[in-house]
Amino acid sequence: MINLYSAQVDSLSIHKVGNKSRNENVFLSAEPYQLTDEITPLLKEYFFKPFREKEENYFQFTNEVDLEFNQLYAIVTAIFNDPATVHENSKKIASLLFEQSQHPHIKSGEVYVGHFENVVIDNEKVDAIGIFKSEIKNDFLQFEEKGSNLDVLLQQGVSLNKLDKGCIVFNVKREEGYKILSVDSNKYDTKYWLDHFLGVDVFEDENFYTKKYLKFCQNFAKDVVFPAEDKKEEVMFMNRAVNHFAKNDDFEETAFLNDVIENPDLIPEFKHYKVEKGPKYSIEDVSEFPIANKAVSSARKSIKNTISLDTNIQIKMDFINPESAEKFVEKGWDEEKQMYYYLVYFNKEQKA
């Protein structure tokens, strides 16, 4: 978990990167930007706001041969080793981004490279390096008094409300490629930012495994539990799965299966499904890991707890009190109507 509120901007360099395929240039500033008390908090909010709003999905630098051959990893490591070199190394970062800016869709823009202190990650204070890019220019009006009239000037600039691209490299897990957060508002050129420039892959930590395992369970419920049982049991299986994750600090697969799967015939089905589908979720060899509570909360919000019927009626199950569904919702078959039904027990109707 990160906390960026106490972060201090130690240094900031600003360059401009054009599109190489359009014969645009790269402009490298000779000196670091001189921050002021007025603009520093505005830039911090511009840089950090997207990361506070986004789920923490970490990446790490990678390379098919060896991590040392990842150019950005080498530059970042040089900065962490000697923060006084951040401006000269920021030029290398901007030049590296320029070399990757060759696709016609890639927009030119300003590149900001910052070195930050007092960044908190996993309850530890560390330094970090931020690389941000502004691409979209917005029209805005300026007003100027001219004699007895007010003149209107149409200008273009960068909106501080939306960062186009950015990443924060935290000075932790160096040997594994650091822990990195990334945002990208323009999804059409994600490979250019993540793959070609950053050269990153997903960081496989507790957040990654918690999220992936629950997604795997969600698909098992849909592909196996629903055909074998019914929609109610599919919903209740995921209810029990999420609650198991929520009440435990560590995941252990055998305990999970015994707690969550009520029909013992489905346990071998689960294991077979994991052999078949596990590689898709990177959990084929995973049976134990620490549970990330934030990922559980996020998964709970995304999992549907509603039974939708072809008669345009929906029954919403309560994930907080699953015993209600077990006690007060029954499924049956009506011979006369030749239709299934759900019988719902209650004492009184509640106001919405």
In a domain, 321, yes or no: yes
Are residues 53 and 146 located together in one domain of the fold? Answer: yes
Read off the tokens for 251: 């995941």
Same domain (yes/no): 194, 266: no
Same domain, 212 and 197: no
Are 256 and 155 found together in one domain?
A: no
pLDDT of residue 332: 85
Question: Could you say which of 203, 227, 261 is where a domain stops?
Answer: 203
d(CA 164, CA 170): 20
Token output for 244? 């198991």
Token pair in block for residue 54:
């986004």
Last residue of one domain, picked from the residues 203, 232, 260: 203
pLDDT in tens, 38-73: 999 999 999 999 998 777 789 999 988 889 899 999
In this structure, the answer to whether residues 191 and 221 fall within a common structural domain is: no
Q: Residue 256: what pLDDT?
A: 96
Q: Is residue 16 in a domain?
A: yes
* pLDDT at residue number 165: 94
| pLDDT for the residue numbered 36 | 94
Say if residue 159 is in the same domain as residue 253. Answer: no
Assigned domain for 351 exists: no
The predicted pLDDT at position 69 comes to 93
Domain boundary among 146, 179, 203: 203
Domain limits at 244?
Answer: 207-344
pTM of the model: 0.76
Local structure of residue 42 (DSSP, 8 states): H
The strand pair at 59-61 and 200-202 is best described as: antiparallel
Do 305 and 239 contact (CB within 8 A), yes or no? yes
Is residue 352 in some structural domain? no
How many domains would you assign to the chain? Answer: 2
Spell out a b/e string for 103-131, using b for 16 or more CB atoms within 10 Å of the CB, else e. eeebbbbbbbbbbbeebbbeeeebbbbbb
Based on the domain organization, do 130 and 261 belong to the same domain? no
Is residue 211 within 8 Å of residue 203, measured between CB atoms? Answer: no
Spans in the chain with pLDDT lower than 70: 188-190, 318-325, 352
Do 143 and 281 lie in one domain? The reply is no
Quickly list DSSP for 102-170. Answer: -STTPPPEEEEEEEEEEEEETTEEEEEEEEEEE---EEEEEEEEETTEEEEEEEEE--TT--SEEEEEE
Indicate whether 349 belongs to any domain: no
Domain membership of residue 156 (yes or no) is yes
25 phi/psi in degrees, rounded to 5: -105, 175
In this structure, the answer to whether residues 232 and 276 fall within a common structural domain is yes
Is residue 328 domain-shared with residue 263, that is, in the same domain?
A: yes
> Helix (H, G, I), strand (E, B), or coil: what is residue 179?
strand
Q: pLDDT at position 320, please?
A: 61
